[in-house]
Chains A and B, each alone.
Chain A
């Protein structure tokens, strides 16, 4: 497969996953939470493509999420860039069992991102329900995202369906 088709495919699938996160998953909530497929995209591309692919996809997905979000521009861009950079760096050491690596990195990054969001946006402004937030939002969201991580990784990186086109 030529690189142009491969990149087009990755862009289209990533766009589709973001559309699913914003439009379909609000109707398929798990304990009132939607999965962060945007993180799965960055982790998957970091694991399969390495540090450059990871940080580049982190910036692009982050900018898209910032545009779609109502918050100040830049927070998603910086966070996702760091996720791409770290995942791309550490994942170079893993050549086998990449699905397990994606699962573990998705679990860790989603938990850290959501925990930091809670700390900097709520805890520092007086909300002291840290265990309630963990139990009702952060953990279910992390679990839900992790469950979808491997199927999304397979769809993003294995162009199996193109054989049928």
Chain B
């Protein structure tokens, strides 16, 4: 051991220096984050253009394979059809939601519409987290466009996530797939309220789970879920996804469902941030 230290004295000294430097950078970036805005802005000012350039070039490489498989016409038709399906699905969800609400409120006089007009900002995704554990995306708009922490983010197909970090011209979105994320959800058909949670394991399959569903609920596979407006971040009525399967939780008296998000996070390239 002593020989090893003697033989690599210079290298160990350099590596110790690197370790101390990296630890200092980590400390500046993580400790008292709200007061170290300059540190976060400085690193992101350097890293985000690199990330952006890398994502744009690599997405170009990834699309080469797709272009081989599909002709240009088919791709265009597919995009149009996808857009149409997304529009119709949203309309269908909205109508179904209206129907249930209408039945419930039929005999009441003061009926209030639950739909609202949201002011949104469109943003392009410039980077996605690498690896298998996290689902965080970076967009190209920030505080200069009115984006702030905890603003909900959607796509034409449904809920994407919320803003967890923001700078002048960038923002980081933690998606609903990310472990530790919770969204108040409501099963549209049965009106059961439950909690939608990201899961480290399901995330790798593009899924999330819904917990605390009442044991008496008649929810079943295929039921659609929307946000219930509780929690203060997500407004009511945003489409989340559909139930894939549902089972009784072994540890509690409630049911747990695996949910397929309506948004395809693999193909997501643009999002809308709802300004509060």
Contacts and interface: CB of A to CB of B under 8 A. Distances in A.
A73 B42 CA distance: 12
Given A73-B26, A74-B25, A78-B19, A52 B133 contact: no
B212 interface: no
B43 A133 contact: no
Contacts, number: 108
Contact of B179 (A24, A81, A127, A132): A127
Contacts of A32: 132, 204-206
Contacts of A85: 15
Interface in B147-197: 172, 179-180
B54 A33 contact: no
A87 interface: no
B200 to A, nearest CB: 5
Contacts of A125: 180
> What DSSP secondary structure best describes chain A's contact surface?
helix
Query: For chain B, which range describes its interface: under 10, 10 to 19, 20 to 34, or 35 or more residues?
Result: 35 or more
A74 B54 CA distance: 19
A32 B131 CA distance: 11
A85 to B, nearest CB: 7
Interface stretch (B56-64, B90-98, B233-241, B253-261): B56-64
Interface in B49-84: 50-51, 54, 57-59, 61-62, 65
A142 B29 CA distance: 30
B20 to A, nearest CB: 11
Nearest to B8: A51
Contact of B129 (A71, A72, A77): A71
Contact of B18 (A22, A52, A59, A71): A59
Interface string A2-46: 000000000000000001011110110101111010000000000
B172 to A, nearest CB: 6
Contacts of B22: 73-74, 77-78
Contact of A26 (B133, B180, B266): B266
Ranked 9 nearest A-B pairs via Cβ: A23-B58, A32-B204, A70-B136, A74-B26, A70-B129, A74-B22, A32-B205, A23-B62, A136-B201
Interface of B: 4, 8, 11, 15, 18-19, 22-23, 25-26, 29-30, 43, 47, 50-51, 54, 57-59, 61-62, 65, 127-134, 136-138, 172, 179-180, 200-201, 204-206, 266
